[in-house]
């Protein structure tokens, strides 16, 4: 009767740490920056860019909040007032008044496309 052959170990994945190793960079090396996800993060007066543009598009979808406002990607006093009105009308708490934070973003996203 033949004895079973020992299983050949699978080749090690070079991207996985070996015993005594870790995937972390050496101590003192800063972590690489996380990729920015469009439309996330806190937005406030003075900000500009794609995230503000998306905010403006969504605000226009709520009647009486930002009717006829420009879509120019600038978070100006008019956007701040619209965000404040949205927060008050829908009872949004947890974000600074007039600031588009996580709670305001979620509430607006649930009401718009």
Of 41, 68, 40, 42, the residue nearest 56 (C-alpha): 68
For range 101-111, the mean pLDDT: 96
pLDDT at 41: 86
Mean pLDDT for all residues in the chain: 82
pTM reported for the whole predicted model: 0.66
pLDDT at 36: 47
pLDDT at 2: 57
pLDDT-based confidence at 1, cuts 50/70/90? low
Query: What does the pLDDT look like over 51-82, one tens digit per residue?
Result: 999 999 999 999 999 999 999 999 999 999 99
Query: What does the pLDDT look like over 5-56, one tens digit per residue?
Result: 656 555 555 555 555 555 555 566 676 654 444 546 899 999 999 999 999 9
């Amino acid at each position: 009767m033949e004895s079973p052959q020992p299983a050949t170990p699978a080749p090690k994945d070079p991207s996985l740490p070996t015993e005594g190793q870790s995937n972390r960079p050496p101590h003192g090396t800063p972590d690489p920056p996380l990729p920015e996800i469009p439309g996330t993060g806190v937005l406030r007066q003075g900000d500009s860019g794609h995230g503000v543009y998306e905010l403006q598009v969504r605000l226009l979808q709520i009647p009486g909040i930002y009717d006829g406002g420009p879509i120019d990607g600038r978070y100006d006093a008019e956007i701040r007032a619209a965000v404040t009105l949205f927060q008050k009308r829908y009872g949004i708490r947890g974000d600074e008044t007039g600031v588009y934070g996580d709670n305001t973003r979620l509430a607006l996203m649930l009401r718009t496309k």
